[in-house]
Structures are given as C-alpha cells and as structure tokens.
A and B are shown apart, each in its own frame.
Chain A
Amino acid sequence: EVQLVESGGDLVQPGGSLRLSCAASGFRVSGNYMSWVRQAPGKGLEWVSLLYSDETTSYAPSVKGRFTISRDNSENTLYLQLNSLRVEDTAVYYCARMLGGDYFDSWGQGTLVTVSS
C-alpha cells in the first residue's frame, strides 16, 4: 500500500527556516516524480516544487530561490527546505507522488507551517 507521511511543520517567525519531511512506503521515491503542494488556510491548492527521478528540480515562481526539494534514497524520504519564510507561506504542505510527472495520484495527510511573529 502506498503511504506518504509528512512531518516537520511548526510555527516560525518571518525570515526563519524549516525542513519538512515526507516518509514514503509502498514504493520507491527515487523511481518516481515527487512534488510538494500547499494550501493556505481556507484557500485553494498551489503547487510548490517537483523532484524528477533524475533529481532535476522545478519550483513555483513564488518560492524559487527560497525553497529546496531533495530526497534521501536510503531513507525513502522526500524533503523540502524552506528558507526566508514569509507570512504568505503559511499553509498545509502536502507531499504527493506524481503520475507520469503530470498529476498527483497519492497524497500525504499534510503538515502545517505557520509563519508569524
């Protein structure tokens, strides 16, 4: 069974940093395209970042230069490093496996990041 479990969300001050983790089971993170998608409170879904199986990365313009996506193959875990955090980064962050690199076919339960002073 495919399972994704996020962790690492917290309350952080503007300008601060945080690292989110997404532990996968039932499949290999290294063999799939993986993404982070976020959802601000009461708002819609926003794609954040994509890690291709060849480790090429892609970022939404709103986070490029501040966030870094990576993985640990031995731990079968996906990460998102969040730097220079802004109030508008407050959201539930979901990790998701991508079907063919196009669509999100499996999702974690999400982890809440709150940026506030």
Chain B
Amino acid sequence: EIVLTQSPATLSLSPGERATLSCRASQSIGRYLAWYQQKPGQAPRLLIYDASNRATGIPARFSGSGSGTDFTLTVSSLEPEDFALYYCQQRTNWPTFGQGTRLEIK
C-alpha cells in the first residue's frame, strides 16, 4: 500500500497570504496525484489532478506541482472560503488518501 503523508497537519494563515501544503508518497507515483478540498458537512471537491491540472471551475489561485514522491498544493492568495481541510490522493494499485491538512484562519 502506498502511504501518503501530508504536512503540516494544521496551517494557520490570514486571508491574502500564500498557502503551501505538502504531500509525500512512500514510493514513486509519477504524477498521479490529486488534491481535494473538504468543508464541514460537505463532500470533498476535486481541485487538482495529475499533480498540476486544475479541475473544472477551480480558480487559478490554486496550483499543484511535483512528481515522484513529493508534491505541493499552493494557494497564491487566500480567500475566506479557502479555509478548509485538504487531502491528497494517489491511484497506484488502489486509491489512498493522505491524512489531511487543516487550513485555518489565523
């Protein structure tokens, strides 16, 4: 099983700041990584797939990068609605998710 480790567990920032979230895979997964956003009481929403492709309707302030074992989700300038939980996910063998990063308002 491929294990995804996200860091930090919690990130405290203010609106307008830049957020950088990390996801590390236990073995190389190429560029087969996605990022999701989840707000309380809601289903997750796909943000980024194949490491750097934005899903339909996702604002340009969200970007993804990385390959192999190290990946990054960047939010260039935080909006109030961006404070939420974020998960990474890979699909080699079977899908697995990271444990999540909570992005909270400072």
Let me know if B97 and A103 touch, CB within 8 A: no
Docked-complex contact A44 and B97, CB < 8 angstroms: yes
Interface size class of A (residues with CB under 8 A): 20 to 34
Set of chain A residues within 8 Å of B13, measured between Cβ atoms: none
Residues of B within 8 A of A60 (CB): 94
A76 to B: closest C-beta gap in Å: 19
Is B94 in contact with A107, judged by CB distance below 8 angstroms? no
Q: Name the distance in Å between A49's Cβ and chain B's nearest Cβ.
A: 10
Interface string of B81-106 (1 = CB under 8 A from A): 00000010101001111111000000
Kindly state the separation between the CA atoms of A94 and B95 in the bound complex, as whole angstroms: 14
Q: Which secondary structure dominates where chain A touches chain B?
A: strand
Interface of B is mostly: loop
CB-defined contacts of B46 to chain A, threshold 8 Å: 99, 103-105
Pair A47/B96 contact, Cβ less than 8 Å: yes
Contacts of A35 in B (CB 8 A): 95
Residue interface bits A36-69, CB-to-B below 8 A is 1, else 0: 0100000011110010000000101000000000
Q: In the complex, are the beta carbons of B44 and A107 less than 8 A apart?
A: yes
Closest chain-B Cβ to A3's Cβ sits at a distance in Å of 12
Contact with B along A56-100 (1 / 0, CB 8 A): 001010000000000000000000000000000000001000010
**Is A102's CB under 8 angstroms from B87's CB?**
no
B87 lies within 8 A of A103 (CB): no
Taking Cβ atoms with an 8 Å cutoff, the residues of B that contact A are 32, 34, 36, 42-46, 49-50, 55-56, 87, 89, 91, 94-100
Cross-chain pairs A/B with CB under 8 angstroms, 10 sampled: A37-B95, A44-B87, A45-B44, A58-B94, A99-B49, A102-B32, A105-B46, A105-B55, A107-B44, A107-B45
Report, nearest first, the 3 A-B pairs whose CB atoms are least far apart. Answer: A107-B43, A47-B95, A102-B91
Q: Besides the contacts A45-B97, A94-B43, A103-B89, what 17 more A-B pairs have beta carbons closer than 8 Å?
A: A44-B97, A45-B36, A45-B44, A47-B95, A47-B97, A50-B95, A58-B94, A94-B44, A102-B32, A103-B49, A104-B46, A105-B49, A105-B55, A105-B56, A108-B43, A109-B43, A110-B43
